[in-house]
Structure 1
Amino acid sequence: MRSILSVFLILLLSPLAGAQSFETEASHAVIYDVESDTVLWSHNGDEPMPPASMSKLMTILMAFEAIDEGRLSLDDELPVSEEAWRRGGAASGSSTMFLDLNSRARVDDLLRGIIVQSGNDACIVIAEALGGTEENFAAMMTERAR
């Protein structure tokens, strides 16, 4: 009798063990299972979003790949060009790390500036170091994304 009661309780309560709901305040989110190649959950996953932060994430990825490949080191000091200072620095009025014109910044500090402060100037400095120009680096990011 006890085993029948146990089985009955298991069957009765098993629907309560279902998947929990997931909520986020993010404007866009996707949970993806790589092994099964399946989107498990999506919130506005198919809606277009501004690329600014996505390009910063790609810049970070490409910088870390360059570090892994030995083309860049966290201790390398990169030059802050006038282009980076004007288009991404304080003069631009955008998110910035406030790098000084014609100074040098360590890759480690630049990555922190991108991650913490969303520094456009830091992104441009890394782009120029890896691609020569922003345009070349943008093409490299596009190729890497494919």
Structure 2
Amino acid sequence: QHNRNKLLWRDQTVDGMKTGHTESAGYCLVASALRDNMRLISVLLGASSEQSRTESSQRLLEYGFRTFETHKLYKAGDALSEVRVWQGDKTEVAGGVMDDLYVSMRKGRYDQLKGVVQFDRSIDAPIRRGDVLGKIVFSDDGQILKQTNLLALEDVSEGGWWRRIVDSVQKLFAE
């Protein structure tokens, strides 16, 4: 059976995905395209014909590539914040990301991007590399674009008995 996704022949950046047609849903197409290291996926439902499905999907992808851009925010292992650790053999742990972190947003808005690190609890040892310490929220003009976990980039063992006593007292006054 030949491939009904005509975008595969019209646009060399298109590499998939799925066509479909039923009386109730009309002609449908989920298309994937990769340009300049940015992948977009378009979903079109309810087109009146195969030609309309192809042309509308092409317009959706063109709009996306014309209007949005992807930025690499951090690379795997980047430390973003030092986080206070209670009752550990260290008083701080580096928090960051384990994988490269990207955000897609409207072109020309990158300078407006704001990143905030949020913690909803105190961090007590022991901590293992990869444990969730909090989250990082990226927004543009109040709209959240990306949210991911802030992860421990190193282990922190439980501190000695004296460190645990001192931190227990300090923590009472810190909260």
Q: Tell me the TM-score normalised to structure 1 length.
A: 0.25
As a proportion of its length, which structure holds more helix? 1
As a proportion of its length, which structure holds more strand? 2
Q: Tell me the TM-score normalised to structure 2 length.
A: 0.22
